[in-house]
Amino acid sequence: MAEQNLEAKLKNLLKQEKIQLWNPPYTEQGQQPGRQHMQELAERYAHLLRLPVSEVGGALESIRAQAVKRGRGNQTFRETSVATLELLLPRDAKKDPKVRTYLETRLDVSAQQVVDRVAEEHGLRSIKLILSGRTLSAERRLDEQGVKNHSKVMVLRVSDGELKQQLTEEEEERRSQEESVQRTQKGFQILSERDGSEDPHTTPFLEIADQKGNPLKIPPTEKKVEFETGRSAEVSHQGALLCNLCVCVCVCVCVQALILAMGFHEKGRALMKRKQHDNALCHLLQADQQFRKCGSALLSSVDNYAVLQLDIVWCYRALEALSCLEDGRSRLQRAEDCFLRCYGEQQERLLMIKGNTGREEVLFLRLYLLQSLLSYIEGSDSEARLQLSRVESLYARLRPDSEKMAQLMALGFSEREARLGLRASRGDLQEAAIHISTRRQEREELKQRERQKRRTRMEAISALMELGFSQRDAARALHHADGNVDRAYAILLDSSQDAQATNNNTEGGASPEMVEQLLYLGFERDSAEAALRLTGGDVQSATQLLLDNQGVLSPELLTPPSTSSSSSTPSSEEPSSASSSPEDSELVSEVLEDIAPHEEDYLDLTLEEESELISAMKAYLHREPAHT
């Protein structure tokens, strides 16, 4: 890191004096350095920077060599269309950390061809290429994905098998890691298709809740995502503040994109806790891509997106990939802007909604710490010191007080509760105990309301079943009627009459001509027949339904509804499609395991890693100047 700091300072000096090291007298024929002039320059700059001449001279030669290589690369690209890419390899794949790695390739080739070359030349397996925080698609060409001559491409290893005697285990691990992203996506896609009409004990779904954990009712035309896993989620009523695993009501937000964004983020954070930063970064970048599909209105009004940017740059730091400086800086700026919009310039909106700001201050501590680190790498020591002073001030206030923690834990509170409570109360022991007790009471009241809600729902379903309707149809009708039994009964009667009328045509509930019209528009037969059945054979409404769902209807909608029968009994019920697949249940259970059990888990930082980085930054910034 000190080398990057010195190079940045030297580049600034060279730019100010308009010195071009790739030209004479600093570079002679044969691209060799002009030793006398380079030595004189090193001595002059060493005096200005108060550093050893040898250290400055080495950094200047590194800058000169890079400039010469870049010039050759430009000429080669003009003449042959062969680009030079700088590869940011994993730490343990570098033979010499100080030597840069380059790859020459045409830009009209697929990313997969580059992956294969990198894997072969550097002995890596199962890698991904990252450009400016985006994962390059293996099938697409490099130039189609923004890769240019001299682009910096990060090589991210998903798994590696280096020991032949462990080949079988590593192959299994590799396959597992390759499937991780796909399984996470599939699991949250299943959850996004569930509407909450099933029993949440057997069929978990996701539901939005406000700051107190109360579910928000969203009109069907604006419904975006529902989060209900027995865990609290939070969201502000106007999208002013969004905390862990939450969304705001925002028109035109893609349901699956939002669910996948938050799901990938949770998975990535779980991997970060296990120190699996390679794999974590893959999931976090997937989350970033999904969030970007949700529209700028959402991204500018919820703090989930800001926290994600912090987590991505934190992974860059852990992987020593901060040469992705431009991407890291822009992400931190987006995070800071988002926090200011969500919380207010003086965190007044956060104070109004949550009653205190102490817990969220850990996010600003990490933000300022990363900004200090990037400023140092850019050669701006004064800016780095300024940011670090803010960090140290926050750290002194937020670091856990072991004695107070012990006192709170002696009262029966958990370590997490003690830590968050002390931060919320600014270290006041009595206030912390009151805060924790209040939060516990709020969560218990929420659980009681949810239990009562489920009991009422099951009683209503039983009442409808006694009238001859199936459990599945009763549950769905009750869901669409917002729990009103009379309205649910009317819905069931209407559905029965519609089914009877449409069944006079074809088995699918519509004429073959209607189905053919939808097939001609490019929809699948199963989806077309289901849409016609749901809209009573109205082709225009069926088309709109399919367009609203991107041509894919959920499994529940694809399954024809059971007809009402007075002989229907609970013992004769067919299991719902949402819970009938063991594979689906396994995927859902898998992704739910990575959702933090506590709604403020993302704020519960022990600050151990931050403390180590603070010490490292102080050591770099307070180096004694050399006598030259």
| Cα angle, residue 332 at apex, residues 331 and 338 outer, rounded to 5° | 90
pLDDT digits (tens, 9 = 90+) for 6-62: 999 999 999 999 999 999 999 998 889 999 999 999 999 999 999 999 999 999 999
Amino acid identity, residue 134? R
Mean pLDDT score of the chain: 78
Indicate if the alpha-carbon torsion angle 381, 386, 387, 393 is positive or negative: positive
Q: Are 357 and 350 in contact (CB under 8 A)?
A: yes
pLDDT digits (tens, 9 = 90+) for 335-346: 999 998 888 888
If we measure between CA atoms, which residue out of 54, 61, 47 comes closest to residue 7?
Answer: 61
Residue 167 has pLDDT above 50, yes or no: no
Higher pLDDT, 262 or 251: 262
CB count in 10 Å sphere of residue 168: 9
pLDDT digits (tens, 9 = 90+) for 541-589: 788 788 777 777 766 566 555 444 333 333 333 334 344 467 777 777 7
pLDDT digits (tens, 9 = 90+) for 584-625: 777 777 777 777 777 788 888 999 999 999 999 999 998 756
Q: In this predicted structure, what is the pLDDT of residue 502?
A: 52
Q: Are 188 and 197 in contact (CB under 8 A)?
A: no
Nearest-10 crossing angle of helices 582-593, 167-193? 100
If we measure between CA atoms, which residue out of 359, 362, 382 comes closest to residue 372?
Answer: 382
Assign 497 a pLDDT band (cuts: 50, 70, 90): low
Cα–Cα separations (whole angstroms), residue 369 to 305, 320, 439: 19, 15, 30
Most confident of 170-184, 255-269, 382-396: 382-396
Residue 427 has pLDDT above 50, yes or no: yes
Query: Cα separation of 304 and 342, whole Å?
Result: 10
Instruction: Say which residues have a Cβ less than 8 Å from residue 290's Cβ, sequence separation at least 6.
Output: 257, 258, 260, 261, 264
Q: pTM of the full predicted structure?
A: 0.72
SS (H, E, C) 146-188: CCCCCCEEEEEECCCCCCHHHHHHHHHHHHHHHHHHHHHHHHH
Peptide bond into 25 cis (omega under 30): yes
Q: In this predicted structure, what is the pLDDT of residue 420?
A: 92
Amino acid identity, residue 243? C
If we measure between CA atoms, which residue out of 451, 544, 557, 439 comes closest to residue 495?
Answer: 557
Q: In this predicted structure, what is the pLDDT of residue 625?
A: 60
CA 114 to chain centre: 26
Query: Cα separation of 435 and 424, whole Å?
Result: 8
Residue 54: strand, helix, or coil: helix
Pairing of strands 127-131, 134-135: antiparallel
If we measure between CA atoms, which residue out of 499, 492, 491 comes closest to residue 470?
Answer: 492
Q: Are 304 and 244 in contact (CB under 8 A)?
A: yes
Percent above pLDDT 90 for the chain: 38
Q: In this predicted structure, what is the pLDDT of residue 54?
A: 93
Q: In this predicted structure, what is the pLDDT of residue 238?
A: 29
CA 579 to chain centre: 27
Lowest-confidence region among 261-275, 414-428, 505-519, 604-618: 505-519
pLDDT digits (tens, 9 = 90+) for 382-408: 999 999 999 999 999 999 899 999 999
Q: In this predicted structure, what is the pLDDT of residue 141?
A: 94
Lowest-confidence region among 88-102, 310-324, 445-459: 88-102
Query: Cα separation of 545 and 349, whole Å?
Result: 39
Instruction: Say which residues have a Cβ less than 8 Å from residue 485's Cβ, sequence separation at least 6.
Output: 460, 463, 464, 478
In the structure encoding, which two tokens stand for residue 568, read together?
């229907």
| Cα angle, residue 94 at apex, residues 93 and 96 outer, rounded to 5° | 155
Q: In this predicted structure, what is the pLDDT of residue 577?
A: 39
Q: In this predicted structure, what is the pLDDT of residue 16?
A: 93
Query: Cα separation of 395 and 611, whole Å?
Result: 8
Question: Phi then psi for 206, rounded to 5 degrees?
Answer: -120, 140
Q: In this predicted structure, what is the pLDDT of residue 538?
A: 79
The whole-number average pLDDT for the span 121-127 is 86
Q: In this predicted structure, what is the pLDDT of residue 166?
A: 34
pLDDT digits (tens, 9 = 90+) for 205-243: 665 554 455 554 544 433 433 333 333 333 332 232 233
Q: In this predicted structure, what is the pLDDT of residue 59?
A: 93
Strands of 101-106's sheet in order across: 101-106, 82-88, 152-157, 127-131, 134-135
Q: In this predicted structure, what is the pLDDT of residue 323?
A: 67
